[in-house]
Structure 1
Amino acid sequence: MLGWSFPPNADGEDEDLNNPGIESFKNTPLTSLAREICQNSLDARHPEAMAPVEVQFTLIDLPAADFPDITDFRDILARCKAERPDSKKFQQFFRRAEDIASQETIPCLLISDFNTTGLRGADGAKGTDWYKLTRTVGSSDKSGGLGSFGIGKFAPYANSDLRTVFYCTLNADDQHAFQGVARLVTHKAASGEETRGTGYFGVREKNRPILVRSQIPAFLARKNIGTNILIAGFRRSDQWEAEIVRAVVDSFFYAVMHEKLVVRAGGTVINHGSLPSIVENFYKDQKTTGNTPAYLEALTSSDAREFINSDFEGLGQISLKIISGKNYPKRVAMIRGSGMKIFDKGHFLTPLRFAGVFNAVGEKIDSFLKSLEPPQHNSFEAERADAPAEAKARLRRLYEWIRDCVRSIAESDAEEDTEIEGVSKYLPDDVDDAPKKKEEASTEDRDEAAEEIRFVVKPREAFKERTTVAVEPASEEGDDAAGEDEAGRRANDEDSGVDVSTGEDAPSGEGVGDGAVAGDGSSNAPVYVPVQLKSQRVFSSDAASGSYVITFEPESDGGGTLFLNAIGEVGQERVLVSQARLVETGVAVPVIGPGHIGPFTMKAGQKIRIEVKLRTALRCALGVAVHAN
């Protein structure tokens, strides 16, 4: 017998509206839906498919007569509503649900994938993909089917005003299956018996799916191998299509560019050919923020440089493509093997502006990183591993490899000759090829010489009025295993430094002459006062080892500290110092934090020479600020 069935509660826990799984996707319901669906379908790619995985999002108005057992479903909504008559939120939700269910047509979003394996185990056996999707909560062991079926499967419900989703599959074993799942609230059935909040449409005996093709509703039955998901009571908006397209462009540009994925959202087709123009339209005039245009350039430009480690720690291949330029965001897109971007990694110690795309190509390294993802798939968290300390160390080494690749480009760029625009017209094309003697040409044939080449020397800016700034001591941040938070993404162009104690990413200070990162002004924080200098000089004593000698003559006595910044084309940031010493005496100067050394003794009118050695042999202009404390 087919119909809706809500299992007896048997004096168990009551289920209310605030389902934790659904609530976790409420802030970004459509973005989360697109990410979860596309990732799951990519993971379920059919091994024999010749074409990319295709996912279609289609808005449909389902006639109420075609909704499975709509009369019984309306009665269930009324019984749920009667459970909490005094709750405003409760009543508001079920009034809206009843209004939608009473209409002649019900708005739905149909999601279909192609060139996948479908959901195996639809005969109801426990532990199979189908069973995990429809009948379990919290299962995250995936055998290759549609998703991990842990938290991600709740994303469709976050987009349903009826909290109801229908699933239909035709799998690679030529097996059909159909079932509806409604995640409502604990309520009383017609018999008076209290039920669970989660109910099923299908074979009422043991809540099994429908396996007979002729009994599956025609609007959802599959003709080709793959899976259909119907979100009933879809919370549509005018921007639903644009939001899904934006989520796909942001999270799956790599998969689309490498022809692993095609997405159709309403009237928009996102594929290898259309992706560049879609990205351009979304991000033109900065109406949409994000790094996707820069990442696409890193993937497609002939100026990009590629780094490959064919067997990272025995786990398989990893790769990184980098493009440099002053307009890039200093971020690396962290991609897993399936082609989904997990997060944007930032905090790189280099004045170089760049964009990069990292991919875990090898199956073992991909599996390792996948095991560290939280339900939202937006970071790598070592604490999720069976051996957290080992996972954290491996993540650190992986990030260090990425940083080394970035540093190598920064160092090679620093060694390249710089062309001064306009000077070439006054120089010979090739000095070696120029003739020793040449008969003087007539004055009519001579190029007109430049009347004047002006050089402007700006005087050194006087020190500003002395101010007192309270700052916090340098912090020792943890590993950059997780993705950046929203505040970090909004501060996309701010420069960052590195924790001197760990070599990992940590926030850096703000300018050359401002002392240090602003603190909270507490009485326990050290106080730094800018020191006026009679003279100052910085030169590289050993470029190969990253050693610099800083000479200055202060105008006042006392204890002093130095703040050092690498000055780049469009910004500056603290440098990582490994050691420092007074040149005259050889006495070591303490390294306090990124770009911060001291204290040391100063005497007015007496020159001080300090040699610093950078953690990396970085060739750069070094900005220096001296403060008394």
Structure 2
Amino acid sequence: MSGNDYGFLFKPNGNENQGPSNSGEEIFSGDTAAQSLARELGQNSLDAVAKDGAWPVTMVFELRRMKVSDIPDVDNLKRHLRAALECYPGHPRLQQAVAAIEAESIDVLRVGDYGTKGLSGSESIMDRGSALTALTRGSGVSIGKTDAGGSFGIGKSVGIRSSLVRTEFWTTRTPESDETVFAGCTQLTTHQDPESNDPRRLMGPMGTYTLLSDTQDYHYLRDPAPLGPFPQRSKPGTDVYIIGYSAAADDPELEQIRIAMIDNFMAAIMRGHLVVKGITDKSHAWVLDADGLKRAIDAISDPERRTAMQAFHNALRQPPVIKTDVRLGEMKLYINIDDSLPRKLNTIVMRKPLMKVRAYTNTSITAKYAAVLECSSPQGNRILRSMEPVRHDDWQAARDKTNGKAALRAIKNFILEELRKRVKMELGDEITIKGLNTLLPLELQIDGNPNRHGVRASNGPGVERESASLQGRETAPEPVANTGGKSVSITLTSPAVADDSGDSVFTGRKRGGDTKRGKHAAGIPASGKAGDGSSVIEGGNLSMRYWFDTKSGDYILVLRSRTGETEKGVLRLTAALDGTFGNYTPPVEEATDISSSEPRRLEVKEGSISTVRVTGKRPTKLRVHIKGGIRLQLGVK
């Protein structure tokens, strides 16, 4: 890095003293460094796509260990950091900054984007419409941003917050220019001028890397040499260098960055709008793109987070429900109903940048699901953008007096109506009866009233003879106070059936592919080749719901793949005898696949059903007749 005439310029302080806390940084106080960087810089990069539709934008997160001596104007930076610490000697953030800048080496994170248009405009005070100025010296400034994006100055605050020495640099290049611009900023506190002994000579908190000979305007360095070990910018786009990346020790392979990008930009990655790369000193490299996204999600070590991301990924692979609203234009809702989820995951909402804004909860929906709502129309994106705070993590009606309430009402009603329809289609009608306990006899009341009494049965002294209905002699009921009860809600669920058109029920999962099987869960060795329809389907890979059709005397089985992969082969049923499942095989006589409008007869041999196919996309429905029409408790071996 060259440019001896350039350095950090601090100007005299104004009428207000600035302490160690910065309002721009406090906005992200609840987020990790990885989460805040991923959201803000990811949105800035997507918003700066070179031209509309010219996807993908590529983001590179590169973590390197760099010599402190390679930091531009580092000696001057050290003096100002020490001066800030002298003004606030007990502040841990400033103590940490001084310790980091006085070490021999430091961790630096570069976040570069490609396929973007860079930062246009001049750094001069006279250029009031400059995107370059908005990022490097602005605070909450949206100049040069479209309706898709946020505020440049907020992105700057995220970088400062993630820096141990509160310093960041930028390089940027536009398609129209053959020059690369180098800029820098450090955000400290109001402090005494290090070159003066006068305690009244106070300097402002922000230092800007510029030509030091002109204190009336700003002149950034052009065509700089590479910064430390990082590559030189030669293509349009922007690099952000975070000096002393605060999460480097906890995230040396940038796994937290990768997970944060998946969490916030899953849809953008799936559609090929965004490619993300990670590079570290240890030559560890990873790539997030549409082809490898599923593998990256499946490799997440945290099981709860992995399950949630898999569920939303599956939702985005479903055909969306589409509705056109008079204000918001086209809205799309992707729904994944999955009763194997550990809990309800709610509905993530997003607009044109395809970045997660927030999640909406529907308390009236008790089914387990993950859903995604997208509103990317020009008018909808514009309205919803105006309803977001600076963190872009909510849609607040009060921010748009004209459209806010109506827009939120339209979105929430659309989500609720479609979720109810899908749950009814896949899981059947669900009826919740509140207050049913008020209709029960007094002895069965459980309403939390300690003055109400129930009865406790007593077996008495007992007799030698036992029966299925009575154990011991009866005695008079013994009253007992009910002190721990509360009102009970009873939920009745009727099984899902196909709709009137005969179309099959959808599960919301949509994963494809074949799977190889090892040893059978019930100890039965697999036979046949993987995927040829003759191998035994492992019972642990399926979930099954069933009911008895009294009119036909048949069982209706609804099978789902637990793995999300296609399971095909021989289905072996079992039945419980005396309440215990064992090796008993029910005498199946006939079986038909009724998943589609054209039933498919299945071969039955020795109680086993052949050529059964259960995909990860939708449930498989079978009509099974057992000899004699006997009622059994069924299971899958």
Answer yes or no: same fold by TM over 0.5.
Answer: yes
The CA distance in 1 between the partners of 2:306 and 2:489, in whole Å, is 32
Q: How does 1:349-498 map to 2 (within 5 A)?
A: 349-385=364-400, 387=401, 390-413=403-426, 466=445, 469=448
Identity %, equivalent residues = 25
SS of aligned partner of 1:326: coil
Q: Which amino acid aligns with 1:99?
A: A
The CA distance in 2 between the partners of 1:256 and 1:133, in whole Å, is 25
> Are positions 1:109 and 2:127 aligned together?
no
Q: 2:19 aligns with which of 16, 20, 38?
A: 16
Contact kept, 8 Å, 1:111 with 1:229, in 2: the verdict is yes
Q: 2:137 aligns with which of 126, 135, 138?
A: 135
The CA distance in 2 between the partners of 1:255 and 1:198, in whole Å, is 35
Q: 1:414 to 1:279 in 2, by over 3 A?
A: closer
Q: How does 1:246-265 map to 2 (within 5 A)?
A: 246-265=259-278
Deviations 1:289-340 (A, max 9, x none): 662211111222xxx442112x421543211121223124251221222111
SS of aligned partner of 2:172: strand
**Who is 1:313 aligned against?**
326
Q: CA deviation at 1:217?
A: 5.3
Q: CA deviation at 1:182?
A: 0.4
The CA distance in 1 between the partners of 2:453 and 2:286, in whole Å, is 58
Q: CA deviation at 1:269?
A: 1.1
Q: CA deviation at 1:531?
A: 9.7
Q: Which amino acid aligns with 1:294?
A: A
**Total equivalences in the alignment:** 430
Q: 1:528 to 1:254 in 2, by over 3 A?
A: farther
Answer with 123-132 or 139-148: which moved more. 139-148
Q: 1:216 to 1:5 in 2, by over 3 A?
A: farther
SS of aligned partner of 2:11: coil
Q: CA deviation at 1:188?
A: 1.6
Q: How does 1:62-77 map to 2 (within 5 A)?
A: 62-77=66-81
Q: CA deviation at 1:391?
A: 0.6
Q: Which amino acid aligns with 2:133?
A: Y
Task: Give me the TM-score of the superposition, normalised by structure 1.
Answer: 0.63
Q: Which amino acid aligns with 2:236?
A: I
Contact kept, 8 Å, 2:151 with 2:390, in 1: the verdict is no
**Who is 1:30 aligned against?**
34
Q: CA deviation at 1:146?
A: 7.7
Q: Which amino acid aligns with 2:211?
A: V
**Who is 2:97 aligned against?**
97
Q: 1:408 to 1:16 in 2, by over 3 A?
A: same
Q: 1:146 to 1:181 in 2, by over 3 A?
A: farther
**Who is 2:291 aligned against?**
273
Unaligned runs of at least 5 residues, structure 2: 280-284, 430-439, 456-485, 496-637
Contact kept, 8 Å, 1:305 with 1:323, in 2: the verdict is no
> Are positions 1:293 and 2:310 aligned together?
yes
Contact kept, 8 Å, 1:152 with 1:375, in 2: the verdict is no
Q: 1:383 to 1:221 in 2, by over 3 A?
A: farther
Q: Which amino acid aligns with 2:313?
A: L
Contact kept, 8 Å, 1:255 with 1:261, in 2: the verdict is yes
Q: 1:79 to 1:143 in 2, by over 3 A?
A: same
Q: 1:410 to 1:222 in 2, by over 3 A?
A: same
SS of aligned partner of 2:136: helix
**Who is 1:517 aligned against?**
none
The CA distance in 2 between the partners of 1:32 and 1:564, in whole Å, is 41
Q: Which amino acid aligns with 1:201?
A: Y
SS of aligned partner of 1:5: strand
Q: How does 1:555-566 map to 2 (within 5 A)?
A: 566=491
Q: Which amino acid aligns with 2:9?
A: S
Q: 1:468 to 1:315 in 2, by over 3 A?
A: closer
Q: Which amino acid aligns with 2:357?
A: I
Q: 1:528 to 1:343 in 2, by over 3 A?
A: farther
Q: 1:61 to 1:564 in 2, by over 3 A?
A: closer
Q: Which amino acid aligns with 1:312?
A: D
The CA distance in 1 between the partners of 2:427 and 2:26, in whole Å, is 50
Q: CA deviation at 1:115?
A: 0.6
Q: 1:44 to 1:392 in 2, by over 3 A?
A: same
The CA distance in 2 between the partners of 1:338 and 1:268, in whole Å, is 23
SS of aligned partner of 1:199: strand
> Are positions 1:335 and 2:350 aligned together?
yes
Q: How does 1:92-241 map to 2 (within 5 A)?
A: 92-124=92-124, 125-140=127-142, 142-144=144-146, 147-174=150-177, 175-189=179-193, 190-191=195-196, 192=198, 193-204=201-212, 205=214, 206=216, 208-214=218-224, 219=230, 221-235=232-246, 236-239=248-251, 241=254
Q: CA deviation at 1:64?
A: 2.6
Q: 1:49 to 1:396 in 2, by over 3 A?
A: closer
The CA distance in 2 between the partners of 1:529 and 1:569, in whole Å, is 34
Contact kept, 8 Å, 2:140 with 2:154, in 1: the verdict is yes
The CA distance in 2 between the partners of 1:568 and 1:210, in whole Å, is 68
Q: Which amino acid aligns with 2:223?
A: R
SS of aligned partner of 2:387: coil
Q: CA deviation at 1:362?
A: 0.8
Deviations 1:394-415 (A, max 9, x none): 2111211121211222333467
Contact kept, 8 Å, 2:6 with 2:221, in 1: the verdict is no
The CA distance in 2 between the partners of 1:354 and 1:312, in whole Å, is 24
Q: 1:347 to 1:289 in 2, by over 3 A?
A: farther
The CA distance in 1 between the partners of 2:380 and 2:53, in whole Å, is 24
SS of aligned partner of 1:132: helix
The CA distance in 1 between the partners of 2:276 and 2:13, in whole Å, is 41
Deviations 1:205-264 (A, max 9, x none): 235242522578585742000000000121122325121111111111111111111111
Q: Which amino acid aligns with 1:567?
A: L
Q: 1:63 to 1:564 in 2, by over 3 A?
A: closer
Q: Which amino acid aligns with 2:321?
A: F
Q: 1:52 to 1:169 in 2, by over 3 A?
A: same
Q: Which amino acid aligns with 2:239?
A: N
The CA distance in 2 between the partners of 1:347 and 1:75, in whole Å, is 55
Q: 1:317 to 1:197 in 2, by over 3 A?
A: same
Contact kept, 8 Å, 1:36 with 1:155, in 2: the verdict is yes
Q: Which amino acid aligns with 1:132?
A: A
Task: Give me the TM-score of the superposition, normalised by structure 2.
Answer: 0.62
Q: CA deviation at 1:354?
A: 2.6
Contact kept, 8 Å, 2:357 with 2:394, in 1: the verdict is yes
Q: CA deviation at 1:63?
A: 2.3
Answer with 249-258 or 373-382: which moved more. 373-382
Q: CA deviation at 1:5?
A: 0.8
Q: 1:414 to 1:93 in 2, by over 3 A?
A: closer
**Who is 2:594 aligned against?**
none
